[in-house]
Amino acid sequence: MDGWGFADTRFVVQPNGSVVLTGNRYNISSVELPSLMPWMAQKLGAPLGYDNRNEPHYPPQVPTARQAPELLAALGGFLQPDQISSDPLVRLRRGHGHTGAEIWAIRYEQLDRVPDLVVFPTSHDQVVAITDAAKAHGACLLPFGGGTNVTDALRLPMDEQRVVIAVDMRRMNKILWIDPVNRMACIEAGATGRHIVSELAKYGMTMGHEPDSLEFSTLGGWIATNASGMKKNRYGNIEDLVLDMQVVTAHGVVQRPQIGPRESIGTNPKQVMFGSEGNFGIITSAVVKLFPVPEVQRYGSVLFPDLGSGLSFLYDLQKSGAVPASVRVMDNTQFHFGQALKPKTHGLAARAKSEIEKLFVTQVKGYDPFKLAVATIVFEGSKEEVAFQEQTLYQIAKQHGGMKAGATNGERGYQLTFGIAYIRDLTFEHWAIAESFETSVPWSRALELYERVRARVHREHEARRLPGNPFFTGRITQVYPTGVCIYFYLGFYAKGVDDPVQKYTELEHAAREEILAAGGTLSHHHGVGKIRQDFLKDIYSDGARTVMQQVKRALDPSNLFGASNHGVRGMIALEHPSKDSAT
């Protein structure tokens, strides 16, 4: 697969210029979207269109696999033939995530190093046996979940001379047990979000964790990246939801005989695995908290005069104690992006209604259409909880110049999150390169950070004399007592640009510099991987980095788990066997 998501789903530009999302999985599937390409072309200042295509040539040439017959024989002693693959395309897929650079590489260039072998364990014991075999034969292990990371976490270092085994966890997708009385479940780490949601719903329960990548990312991946979800206000982030986990390490299995609601038991080894990004071991299962499926779920949306008003609304909402499951405030560009994703209006009455609504917003309410922002909201809970949240939220919104924009727009905005994930692949096919990044920032500096990053992106775009206009947009996605998460999208028209991936990397690097200078964090939920490891010296003291080095040295002295994220490669003296002895 050369892009995001389901094989039957992709955005396609029609000869008439309209865009259609193929398949029938989303609320914008199989309908004409006449405004999308014209709007994108206008924002980028570029001639995007049906005839201006950057035709992919997937699959690329895949590097030859390193051979290890003795290792292969050892694995064959306990795995079935269909659990071991050296197929080039199977190896290719386990050698990349979903950064723009990686997808550009597999579509238009190539990856120079991918795993040599892929295994598909079906049980914890098989993961233990795989780990033992890799240790005995001088191989390197790379855990693979949904492959949705956007941090280069799966990219292999070119100087890795050992045989690399990608351990694809997705056949370990069972719910091992459910305790509805104590509201806990034990779930295998390879279970995807959509599978977890559907299986728990059969018991009237939910985990409540819904990242944007819900359909494809896995429980193990959520833990390894210290993930956050769209409904974290109600259910918490992944570190709030996981009670315990089972992990295979170089020193054996980390596991516990029983789980309590909370403990004080000294330094708990499970804590090291949050955000570990494949460096310390392979997570095979986790015990997680459960919640009853909410009695009521309702959507809402609010228009605000500008992003600053939306931010002030969120600040007062957070203090009120009535924060709904999800509330996200999108800037003006994302508002118009959402409008461009609306299907063609049919019928005189529908078109008239649309025009009247626009006139009311701009003429009666006096909103500037090029400044206004929009909040999309998901309320969940009992009837009483939701009623209280709705009443409080809309009162606070009104105090900040907000105007109700309806449940339909709120539901559509929330569900669009899953559909628009395919947009990036569409832009590549029409000579635009784009990607997302995020941060968290204290309340008092949030708007300043947004404005500074936007200004820096424009300066960097101009300094490189890139064509057209930079695409820049942001939304405030999660709220905390101390601040917010801001999620950005950045892109530019790349036709005629020498090495567009490098140019994008430079722009995002500059944006990240500005984020840190404005008081933001290195990442809120994407993680570090390899794409941000150069910034670790800016956020950790020498002493802190030494602690990280020593943790890696202690947990994995021979670098068996060689993902090399967080800059751990080079932190320890690599004592693994040479290439010759491994083969």
Closest CA to 531 of 151, 224, 158, 277: 151
Residue 347 CB coordination number (10 Å):
8
Q: Which residues pair with 379 in a beta bridge?
A: 298
Distance between CA atoms of 50 and 383, rounded to whole angstroms? Answer: 49
- Per DSSP, helices labelled H in 174-258 are 193-201, 219-225, 232-235, 238-241
Q: Which residues are CB-contacts of 524 (< 8 A; sequence separation ≥ 6)?
A: 228, 438, 439, 440, 478, 485
Phi, psi of 580 (to 5 degrees): -65, -45
Exposed / middle / buried, residue 482 (Cβ in 10 Å: 0-12, 13-18, 19+): exposed
Q: d(Cα 552, Cα 349) in Å, to the nearest integer?
A: 65
Catalytic residue of the set 367, 422, 487, 489: 487
DSSP letter at 415 equals H
**Residue corresponding to tokens 């424009």:** 458
**CA dihedral of 67, 124, 188, 557, whole degrees rounded to 10:** -70
Q: Torsion over CA of 319, 236, 537 and 482, rounded to 10 degrees?
A: 10
Token pair of 381, please?
A: 């809970």
Q: 487: how many CB neighbours lie within 10 A of its CB?
A: 22
In the chain, what is the greatest distance between 2 CA atoms, to the nearest angstrom?
77
Q: Strand order in 282-289's β-sheet? A: 175-179, 184-188, 282-289, 242-249, 252-254
Total number of residues shown for the chain: 583
487 is catalytic: yes
Q: What is the SS3 assignment for 85?
A: strand
Residue 291 belongs to what H/E stretch? strand 291-292
Catalytic residues: 487
